Amino acid sequence: MLEGFDLFKALSIIIALMIAIIGHEIMHGYVAYRYGDNTAKYEGRLSINPITHIDPVGTIVVPLLLFISGAPFLFGWAKPVPVNMWTVIRNGGYNGAIAVSLAGIIYNLFMAVIASLLLGFMQNDGLLTMTLYYLVLYNVILAVFNLWPIPPLDGSNALGYLGRKFGSSAIDNFNEKVGRYGMIILIIIVATPLVKIFMLPAYILLSFLL
């Protein structure tokens, strides 16, 4: 019985993570495409075929290690969808660049709300119910995580374009200086109690959705 539950749990986590992280990347490319950038389309990265988006480390190894180690939450990433931001800016200005930067986050929040609504109609604890639960959980986590204003996350990119919109390069300069240490900073946050502070918005949002 326990083995069956673990199997269902692992399967539901895989499905939820794939939908959350692959959809997140596709949306960056799709919104850029709407602003006239065909880069992602030409490279086949607007496809929903997961094989074209899987990053061996970010999509498989990292989530698996976190799951096995019993981490309080899982996260991962897919291969970044290529975007020519200069084309986006030429056609949509800095508002377009901000929209592309935030597209994945908006997708994750939308999916979390939809999964939460569907979860309210479920009557049992089967695979679908468990998958919907993890869809809410991981989409919220990914949305909040990517909003952190730390390079190379989406939040820092959006803030940089927002600064440019108002004629300021201060945020871009900050991102450039901090960017080389971005991954180190993220690892420190995730691996220490600081993560509880940075993820507080996620806990609050999940309390409403779950």
How much is the pLDDT for 123? 79
- 88 closest CA partner among 32, 45, 160, 154: 32
Which of 7-11, 21-25, 73-77, 159-163 comes out lowest in average pLDDT? Answer: 73-77
How much is the pLDDT for 3? 45
Q: Which of 3, 25, 43, 176 is catalytic?
A: 25
CA 35 to CA 20: how far, in whole Å? 23
Where do we find the tokens 């030429």? 90
Q: What average pLDDT does the structure give for the chain?
A: 90
Q: Is 3 a catalytic residue?
A: no
Res 13 pLDDT > 90: no
- What are 29-59's pLDDT values in tens digits? 999 999 999 999 999 999 988 888 988 888 8
> What is the 3-state secondary structure of the chain?
CHHHHHHHHHHHHHHHHHHHHHHHHHHHHHHHHHCCCCHHHHCCCCCCCHHHCCCHHHHHHHHHHHHHCCCCCCCCCCCCCCCCHHHHHHHHHHHHHHHHHHHHHHHHHHHHHHHHHHHCCCCCCCHHHHHHHHHHHHHHHHHHHHHCCCCCCHHHHHHHHHHHHCCCCHHHHHHHHHHCCHHHHHHHHHHCCHHHHHCHHHHHHHHHHC
Q: Yes or no: say if 25 and 100 are a contact pair by the CB < 8 Å rule.
A: no
Residue type, 80: P
Residue percentage of the chain with pLDDT more than 70: 94
